[in-house]
Structure 1
Amino acid sequence: MSNWADLSNGKRIKHLRGSDLTQQGLAEAAGLSLAVVQKAEQDRGELSIGSLLKLANALRTDVSVILGQQAPRRGMNQDTRAALRRISDAVHESALGDWDCVGEPSTLDQLSTVQDRVYSAYWRGEFGELSGLVAQVLHEGTVQYREATGYERERLGLVLAGAYWFSASTAVLFEQRDLALSALTSARRLAEDSGDPILAALLESTLSWIHLRSAKVPRAVAVAERAALQIEPSFGRAPRPQLVAYGRLMISAAVAASRKGDAVTADDYLSQAHAAAARLGRDEQLHGTRFGPTSASTEAVGIAVALGNYGKALKLAAHTKLPPSTPKLARNRYKLDVALAQCAAGLHDQAADTLIEVGLDAPEWVKHQALPGIIGKRLAHVSTARVRRIGDVIGVPLLT
């Protein structure tokens, strides 16, 4: 593909639409006429601000991407677009109270069970399933939350906060920053109203992640550090949930510090995370997020890679064993770090094999990651033909 900024608006819209979404489909999703979409892709006349906003929303991107001010990540397929649209509708409609329940809403226990399935779907990378579950929790839960009191209201608030939180996390994965911030705002309000400081702290780790993906690295560090200080445990008698949240936030701070090349600060935060993991003694899951010895070990590999310490990363990886319970997304994110370290160390065959494993295991998720492209470019110095073959196997164009 040519330089994104050098393309016309029409060509950028056509590229973002992709081959799996027709012009008619885009028109219907955007609430525009087919003629407007056709004229836009043919660069016949200037689009109004209103039409640009509608097209950006339907394409699940920002106006700046359509105008060439910012390059897109890998294109989404139609199923992913539909899933993000369902999440966006559920987040905004429920936050505004713009939904009427049809029939009897689910009970609190049923919604709690659905929420557990939301967590599972996220970590398996099943975003179509997740979007439908999130819509159910947010729509039905909001109806009940308005009328609930006391303990039931607190429990409903936590269920809703979790649904908004994982909506935000999904949006971050697909570069939907505005949707992520909107969902996270609702999650934070509900967590505070429900009086759960641990959940409130965990939500800040996602805010740190949003800042990191937006290249606001100092803010990413500051958010994680501030939240961690508020729940800093006394390691001799800290409750396990507190250790999980603190460790997760220390990881967030360490990752962000590594992205700005601050090895000393990253190592300091990472040592705190290792201490929390050692105190736990085993991997734990809390509010759908995971932390423990496995998380501390795998994140240490990624931090070493970010700092350019590829030899150290491979040494750490050699002593890191992923248990069978490791979620798909966590497993593959770790493997991409390993593949980059292998590539940098000249282990090109191993790096290629690892990249193929990731692409086959999480084909839609891998399209929206930056590392495959970086690894592909480095492998291309050895063999461009092989990189093209890898791209064909995993369905991701690694050379542009």
Structure 2
Amino acid sequence: MSNWADLTTGKRIKHLRGSDLTQQGLADAAGLSLALVQKAEQDRGELSIGSLLRLAHALKSDVSVILGQQAPRRGMNRGDRAALRQLSDAVHESALGEWEGIDDPSSVDELSAVRDLAWQAYWASDTTNVSGYASKVLMEGQVRYASATGVERERLGAILASTYRVAASCSTGFGQRDLALSALTSAKHLAKDVDDPVMTALLESTLSWIYLRGAKLPRAVTVAERAALAIEPSFSSGSRPQLIAYGRLMISAAVAASRREDESAADDYISQAHAAAARLGREEKLYGTSFGPTAAKTEAVGIHVALKSYGRALDLANQPDVRSLPKTMSKVARNRYKLDVALAQCAVGLHDQAADTLIEVALDAPEWVRHQALPGVIGKRLAKVSTARVRNIGELIGMPLIA
């Protein structure tokens, strides 16, 4: 780990590329120019988040590996690896009907409660409990679903689909794309079987995120936009679940558009998200998803940062309702937002504030932050002002930020 962290970003990219893939081959696979790949390997200039995502996907790696926050093939700790193995077994075995030995599955209400615990664990970045809770619901829920009818079957279908979705979300966060897609496939079949259009829309939002992490940005936009059109509510009579799903899809589309540096499209999408949030009037949760006025604004901060509109991002972050984040905001959402703020602070020269924000995030969610791209990006920018400060931050949070 320490040897890998000591390399420069350019040397890490070159190492991951290996001798079997030329620079031109990497450029083609990533959809980038040869000149950009050459500059990256020579450590000339800064890579955008979009370029890092494309390179990581082409190299079958993760952004955090390229930035030296994790070593190749050893990025996850033992607990996370064991949890993901358990989750993978549950996702595949439940879908295949391999649930022999479960003679007395939990009731629908009990399974619903455990599903909610799985989502709470996900938003707290607690992989072990995500896996434990989700595995219980998937295995026992499929047993009960196989013989259920009527209202019970509809409720179970929604519970199972939502649980497969949390499994997909957790897997995506660790770069386990194939597992995420397997879980999402099962979820979409269930949502269709019980005719739940809102759940279907939320599943498409997760699919958009999977494509975003895989640097398939046009597809990420298309998936979110198509699903939003399918569920688009009337703002005068649309149901609250529709507004939540529609708002989340608009945010997904805006995030993907911002990574493509398409400012016009991103602004259009985020304005629609703000409109849906205003119609809701308050933060609400549905199937593990939170949305409302504050969520729309915090997400908009990240979108403006991706578009390099740092002034707009900080102006929004300084609004009273955003500055005092609600206590109900999850740890993951809160810290993802704060990383965006730190990057904006760094970009406008507020280096001490950016460093403090980064430390705050890393101490609050030390394992989660290792799988994020922005700490390394922020560290590199802070190093231009004080290398010693960045090394001290890295030691404090237990994660190297620069070579």
Tell whether the structures are fold-level matches, with TM greater than 0.5: yes
Q: Which residue type is aligned with residue 128 of structure 2? A: G
Out of 344, 348, 352, which is 1:345 matched to? 348
Alpha-carbon shift at residue 4 of structure 1 (Å): 3.9
**Who is 1:246 aligned against?**
246
The answer to whether the Cα contact below 8 Å between 1:101 and 1:140 also exists between their aligned partners in 2 is: no
The 1:73/1:176 distance shift into structure 2, 3 A limit, reads: farther
Is the counterpart of residue 305 in structure 1 residue 305 in structure 2? yes
Gaps of 5+ in 2: 18-55
Is the counterpart of residue 162 in structure 1 residue 165 in structure 2? no
The answer to whether the Cα contact below 8 Å between 1:161 and 1:190 also exists between their aligned partners in 2 is: yes
The 1:215/1:198 distance shift into structure 2, 3 A limit, reads: same
The answer to whether the Cα contact below 8 Å between 1:101 and 1:143 also exists between their aligned partners in 2 is: no
Q: Which residue type is aligned with residue 397 of structure 1? A: P
The answer to whether the Cα contact below 8 Å between 2:379 and 2:390 also exists between their aligned partners in 1 is: yes
- The number of residues matched between the two structures is 347
Is the counterpart of residue 391 in structure 1 residue 394 in structure 2? yes
Out of 375, 384, 394, which is 1:372 matched to? 375
Q: Which residue type is aligned with residue 145 of structure 1? A: Y
Is the counterpart of residue 144 in structure 1 residue 147 in structure 2? no
Map 1:161-180 → 2, pairs under 5 A = 161-180=161-180
Alpha-carbon shift at residue 101 of structure 1 (Å): 2.8
Counterpart CA distance in 2 for 1:231 and 1:107 is 31
The 1:235/1:8 distance shift into structure 2, 3 A limit, reads: closer
Is the counterpart of residue 363 in structure 1 residue 359 in structure 2? no
Counterpart CA distance in 1 for 2:264 and 2:57 is 36
SS of 2:337's partner is helix
Counterpart CA distance in 2 for 1:248 and 1:262 is 19
The 1:312/1:162 distance shift into structure 2, 3 A limit, reads: same
Counterpart CA distance in 1 for 2:197 and 2:297 is 26
The 1:63/1:315 distance shift into structure 2, 3 A limit, reads: closer
Map 1:83-102 → 2, pairs under 5 A = 83-102=83-102
The 1:62/1:87 distance shift into structure 2, 3 A limit, reads: farther
The answer to whether the Cα contact below 8 Å between 1:172 and 1:210 also exists between their aligned partners in 2 is: yes
Under a length normalisation based on structure 1, what TM-score does the superposition of the two structures give?
A: 0.83
Under a length normalisation based on structure 2, what TM-score does the superposition of the two structures give?
A: 0.83
Counterpart CA distance in 1 for 2:292 and 2:59 is 39
Counterpart CA distance in 2 for 1:341 and 1:176 is 29
SS of 1:363's partner is coil
Task: Select the structure with the greater relative contact order (CA < 8 A; seq sep ≥ 6).
Answer: 2
Q: Which residue type is aligned with residue 334 of structure 2? A: R
Alpha-carbon shift at residue 383 of structure 1 (Å): 1.1
SS of 2:308's partner is coil
Map 1:327-342 → 2, pairs under 5 A = 327-342=330-345
Counterpart CA distance in 2 for 1:328 and 1:139 is 28
Alpha-carbon shift at residue 104 of structure 1 (Å): 2.1
Map 1:224-239 → 2, pairs under 5 A = 224-239=224-239
Identity across matched positions, percent = 64
Cα RMSD after superposing both structures: 2.1
Q: Which residue type is aligned with residue 261 of structure 1? A: E
Q: What is the CA deviation profile of residues 219-273 of structure 1, one whole-angstrom value per residue up to 9, with x for unaligned ones?
A: 1110000000001111011111111111110111111111111111111111111
**Who is 1:190 aligned against?**
190
Alpha-carbon shift at residue 322 of structure 1 (Å): 1.0
Gaps of 5+ in 1: 10-60
SS of 1:322's partner is coil
Counterpart CA distance in 1 for 2:391 and 2:199 is 44
Alpha-carbon shift at residue 65 of structure 1 (Å): 4.8
The 1:62/1:102 distance shift into structure 2, 3 A limit, reads: farther
SS of 1:367's partner is helix
- Please say which of residues 100-109 and 256-265 is displaced more in the overlay: 100-109
Map 1:313-328 → 2, pairs under 5 A = 313-319=313-319, 320=322, 321-328=324-331
SS of 2:367's partner is helix
The 1:104/1:239 distance shift into structure 2, 3 A limit, reads: same
Q: Which residue type is aligned with residue 160 of structure 2? A: L
Q: What is the CA deviation profile of residues 354-377 of structure 1, one whole-angstrom value per residue up to 9, with x for unaligned ones?
A: 000100111111000000000000
